[in-house]
Amino acid sequence: MSEEEPPVKKQRTDLGNSSNCYTNTIEEAEMAKKSENGDTGEIDEGLYSRQLYVLGHDAMRRMQLSNVLIAGMKGLGVEIAKNVVLGGVKSVTIQDDDTVQWADLSSQFFFRESDIGKNRAEVTLPQLAELNSYVPCSCHTGALDDAFLKKFQVVVLTNTSLDEQIRIGELCHKNNINFIVAETRGLAGMVFCDFGDEFVIQDVDGEQPISNMIADVDSEGVVTCLDESRHGYEDGDYVKFSEVQGMIELNTAKDPFKIKVLGPYTFSIGDTSMFSNYQRGGIVTKVKMPKTMKFKSIKEALNVPEYVMTDFAKFDRPGQLHMAFQAVHQYVKKKGELPRSRNKDDATVFLEVVKNVNESSEAKCDLDDNLMREFSYGARGDLCPMAAVIGGITAQEVMKACSAKFSPVNQFLYFDALECLPDDCDTVLTEDLCKPQQNRYDGQTGVFGQNFQKKLEGLKYFLVGAGAIGCEMLKNWAMMGLACGEGGKVYVTDMDIIEKSNLNRQFLFRPWDVQKHKSSTAAEAAKRMNPSFNIVPQENRVGQDTENIYTDDFFEALDGVANALDNIDARMYMDRRCVYYCKPLLESGTLGTKANVQVVIPHVTESYSSSQDPPEKSIPICTLKNFPNAIEHTLQWARDTFEGEFSGPIQTANMYITDPKFMDRTLKLQGTQPIETLDTVKKVLIDNRPSSFEDCVKYARLLWEENYSNQIQQLLYNFPSDQKTSSGAPFWSGPKRCPHPLKFDSGNSVHLDFVVSAANLKAELYGVPQVRDRASVKSMVDKVVVPVFKPKSGVKISITDTELEAANSSNGSFDTEQVQRLKDVLPKPSSIKVLNAIDFEKDDDTNFHMDFIVATSNLRAENYDIPPADRHKSKLIAGRIIPAIATTTAMVVGLVCLELYKIVQGHTKLESFKNGFCNLALPFFAFSEPIAAPKNKYYETEFTLWDRFEIEGEMTLQDFMNHFQDQYNLEITMLSQGVTMLYSFFMQPAKLEARLKQPLSELVKQVLKKKIPPHVKALVLELCCNDRDGEDVEVPYVKYILPAH
């Protein structure tokens, strides 16, 4: 892996009028030369790390052998090119022989108003080349002749006539060049793929192969898995075996076994009667088998199309759009231009053309005249969100063609979002409102009209997060003109700074932006795309601690919120805020090639928090401590070890040093906790304090011995390898793998990795000068004398978490004398310096964190004969990295912005909105109506999570209760604010009498023992009520609006 940053590109300014133009620096020339020779070197894991977890090293290397041509540099073309360049192919050439027009600026984010009249490809090239210095970029402004096309492994056409598509498609099919067509027309888009007669897919879905532990294999070949979970296989899958005892022929079989599923825990592999008898153990793992696909050329496929469904609610839509996209080319051929926006005469002509195309086609279908007219009305439209959706999908198809990873589109994909139009579009939208105005929004007003554009420009939106989704969102908003007019404003907040690994998908950032703040850098980049963009970058966390910044006034002024977050807690907090202030929320997320969109509409849909994924299955503590059986277990154990050695106890000791109330709080803890806490402080500050680096090496060597020899010897002393359970079964069987102790060898690189990393981390804690030279550390560790260990009898080792909890709960009580002894030996806090507690950081390869994790995990894996994990896989699991790729992000944000159009239109019908789940690897798309907000009822009054009682003006508690009794016939039995009880029916009479007379705001201050912050305009009060029959009844909360304070 390259240790240096990729060279920063310097752009040519003298592109001139040549038909070919190239990026031109010494670094690029060298890089291009290496690419031509197939010598692309190692993959830069620092840059591509998140994408590598999606594609893998092999697929990335195959991508680095592909030269890609993308023809047409309008909004769709540049979106595809941007994603492909970020992805890291061998080279990208962009082609366009036309000039920048006003309508292009609504979706082509590299164009400026000053570029009108210049060649599209030449304007695009310098900015495209900045995205990834590992991908040489060039442009071509001439025609697409045969000799030129044959230079490429992938050809993509985006703004080309149908005749040209067929000509080039036939050439590519005959010459085994992967061929893709992509188009958008207003609110409709399409993708076509032809990857030749024999396209071999190495991995159809990108999922990790499923492994299961084996309970039994009988002589008829029926395999039974341990019933901890279903095996997850399907008929026709192939599997391989390992670690099977007895029937060893399964382990050594040359070919994988094809299976037939018999049940959730059983499957058959065929006759095994000739094999040895099965004894025990074994792991079965699914084998990814290559799949071959045969594609038709576009000329042939037009008459016998196959479709990938994008929306099952529009089952008849692909066939009709198939005709419409062909007809629009015929219309241009006939008229010399596209149908004019909202022009009824042109739509009538288009309808005749599409009917003729349909009649003469072998793929004839029933046409909806209204649908065809809408297609005609919007054909001149060029929308950034549509370019993002189709561009994200198409760029992923390019990567599939280059890498043979994931299943390609077979062969046509059609998508539309006509729900974005107003309900009464025939009356609201006129030809006059949609006419070009010679401004940057012409491509959008051609679809939605000028009144809608003004509405967009005046919006106030809050974007939470400026990472991958945030960058794409700002690009779309700048192009759409959201908050780009009078009164409009976008607030974007993100606490993070830019890291090198962000550059691969957060495309508003460049190498020279590393270590700058994300929000301000993204805001500047978006403002360069559209100088009218009114954007305010902030670096605040969203949460209760910033409610003095994001106040009632702030939220009430907003038109909506978009989340671009990477954690559930922040998402749920923003969801609660949006429900409270009745603001629409746009929610989205990605995981590799998977993505989801959820739109939350006040008084219409449920909220984000209304439904949640089940919690991730946690690893039992006893499995981690004594019985690991997978690399995930050893990596979690390594993370726990890291926290236990270099973070948690150090922070406890620092609290002793810095917090005057630490001792008082510690002595109030239950049971043995005071002794354990003070003992931890003593160990950190006295017992384990090194005075030299040699001490740090000694610590590391003894820790190695304890972890990988002593503990294992003790475990085997308690449970020998031939131990039997009470039922006579082997103790070490099923998920329990029998371990063996390791013997330290400083000549073993993994053993030395552990010592070097642990010693240097220990030195960092205490400010001891580090020693990074491995030979020096080896010399030191060889001199360490290690005490001989003998297992002890009477040591209790818990087998289950239940046993462990019982053992922990029965541990001792408070020992005053022992606590005093510990207090007496601790040094005075004022006499000690604060230690350097270490927070785990996975992406810095110089800080020893991942070195320690990898060595710690793999040594434990060796103890238990678990296959080790390399650094790349270890970082994914231990660092809890979310795999990510630019294509998915681009697509999902496009989908989010289509939902935003609907919100701005004022749609309130559920069926107008689309929640979506997509997986570009398969490819799979599923859209559904959002779920309606569930309704509750008291008496005859229905309410949802969006409703509340609103009370304005101060009331005493008695008046408040009377109000509910008189107004709603509800008897309040309990009243609370947050976690604080203000009233309950079982309250002591004296306390109750005093409280009933108090104004509610005063009562809250008294009970909370603090003032209500001046930015708080209302209190949220929760009620428990009885109805007139004395039955509990669920009611909304109360928004108690405070008098000015």
Catalytic residues: 622
Q: What residues contact 991, with CB distance under 8 A and at least 6 apart?
A: none
In DSSP notation, 569-605 reads: HHHHHHHHHHHHHT--EEEEEEETTEEEEEEE-TTTB
The first and second tokens of residue 161, run together, are: 């006539």
Distance of CA 101 to CAs 98, 116, 337, Å? 9, 6, 14
Burial class (CB in 10 A: 0-12, 13-18, 19+), 20: middle
Rounded distance, CA 858 to CA 838, Å? 22
Q: Please choose, from the candidates 156, 145, 150, 139, the residue with its C-alpha nearest in 3D space to the C-alpha of residue 19.
A: 139
Rounded distance, CA 585 to CA 565, Å? 13
Phi, psi of 890 (to 5 degrees): -60, -45
Mapping DSSP to helix (H, G, I), strand (E, B) and coil, where does residue 201 land?
strand
- One-letter amino acid for residue 550 of the chain: Y
Burial class (CB in 10 A: 0-12, 13-18, 19+), 947: middle
Rounded distance, CA 894 to CA 383, Å? 10
Rounded distance, CA 34 to CA 45, Å? 19
- One-letter amino acid for residue 310 of the chain: T
Q: What residues contact 648, with CB distance under 8 A and at least 6 apart?
A: none
In DSSP notation, 731-748 reads: SS-TT-PPP------TTS
Phi, psi of 680 (to 5 degrees): -60, -45
Give the number of other CB atoms < 10 A from CB of residue 503. Answer: 23
**Residue whose structure tokens are 């009632």:** 552
Burial 925-942 (b: 16+ CB within 10 A, else e): bebeebeebeeeebeeee
Strand order in the sheet with 924-928: 535-538, 489-493, 460-464, 560-563, 585-591, 594-600, 915-919, 924-928
179, β-bridge pairs: 155, 194
In DSSP notation, 158-182 reads: SS--HHHHHHHHHHHHHTT-EEEEE
The first and second tokens of residue 280, run together, are: 């025990």
- One-letter amino acid for residue 909 of the chain: K
In DSSP notation, 525-536 reads: HHHHH-TT--EE
Sign of CA dihedral 889, 892, 898, 900: negative
Mapping DSSP to helix (H, G, I), strand (E, B) and coil, where does residue 239 land?
strand
- One-letter amino acid for residue 295 of the chain: F
Q: Is omega for the bond preceding 245 within 30 degrees of 0, making it cis? A: no
